[in-house]
Amino acid sequence: DQQVKQNSPSLSVQEGRISILNCDYTNSMFDYFLWYKKYPAEGPTFLISISSIKDKNEDGRFTVFLNKSAKHLSLHIVPSQPGDSAVYFCAASAGNQFYFGTGTSLTVIP
Amino acid sequence: DAGVIQSPRHEVTEMGQEVTLRCKPISGHDYLFWYRQTMMRGLELLIYFNNNVPIDDSGMPEDRFSAKMPNASFSTLKIQPSEPRDSAVYFCASSPGGGYGYTFGSGTRLTVV
């Protein structure tokens, strides 16, 4: 059973606008969350993380928000750029093993 | 460091043949993971090792799949016999542990015809 879910398989956004990617999880023991970005024919690469002791982490244009009560996290990209077009995976962990969502394919339209 | 190295990048094989995928993790990383990416299930964990010892292989789909890690710098994922439904991209990842994230290899795209 999927412990980490990304219910939107795809998302299209105009360049310059905000992209919001969502992720839900079921295991309340998860205490560390990551977002990975994946370009075609490449492996996923780490983008940004957040610990359960925080509700927000920001890195340049990328911000991750965590709502523990709702078991929900989101990734905001502002402003979106065409180079951000990729598949984004969220992942959650309660130890050394991370559980991944199914990914959201983001297309930023120039 | 060259990162996690996987080979081959692409593999096309006929149904029933044996397939071996290879992975070299980052030096010093104690954890190695094998994932399979499919449209339906996303990144699906097959098996992971800690210090060369298999810890959890519950994700291995069936007995046709096997994985080994004979030493800290090399792991293999073998499918014997291969079937068309095994066609997917297989990723290897390594981690230093302690909750740190993974570094993924570039993947092996397997096509079984």
Q: Which of B98, B110, B113, B109 is CA-nearest to residue B30? A: B98
Which of A50, A102, A105 is the best mutation test for B, with the most CBs of B within 10 A? A102
How does pLDDT run across B18-33, given as a tens digit for each residue? 999 999 999 999 999 9
Which of B9, B31, B35, B37 is the best mutation test for A, with the most CBs of A within 10 A? B37
Residues from chain A contacting residue B40 (CB–CB below 8 Å)? 102
pLDDT in tens, chain A (110 residues): 679 999 999 999 999 999 999 999 999 999 999 999 999 989 999 999 999 999 999 999 999 999 999 999 999 999 999 999 999 999 998 877 889 999 999 999 99
C-alpha of B35 from chain center: 5
* Residues forming a β-bridge with B20: B78
| pLDDT value of position B1 | 64
Amino acid at A107: T
- What average pLDDT is seen over chain B? 93
- Compute φ and ψ for B47, nearest 5 degrees: -160, 150
How does pLDDT run across B36-47, given as a tens digit for each residue? 998 778 888 999
Number of CB atoms found within 10 A of residue B37's CB: 22
- Compute φ and ψ for B86, nearest 5 degrees: -80, -10
Nearest chain A CA: its distance from B75 CA (Å): 17
CB contact set of A18 (below 8 Å; sequence gap of 6+): A76, A77, A78, A79, A80
Nearest chain A CA: its distance from B14 CA (Å): 22
Q: Is A25 helix (H, G, I), strand (E, B) or coil?
A: strand
Lowest mean pLDDT among A14-28, A42-56, B52-66, B95-109: B95-109
Determine contact, residues A19/A106, Cβ cutoff 8 Å.
yes
Number of CB atoms found within 10 A of residue A58's CB: 12
Give me the long-range contacts of B65-69 (CB less than 8 A, separation at least 24): B67/B34, B69/B32
| pLDDT value of position B39 | 78
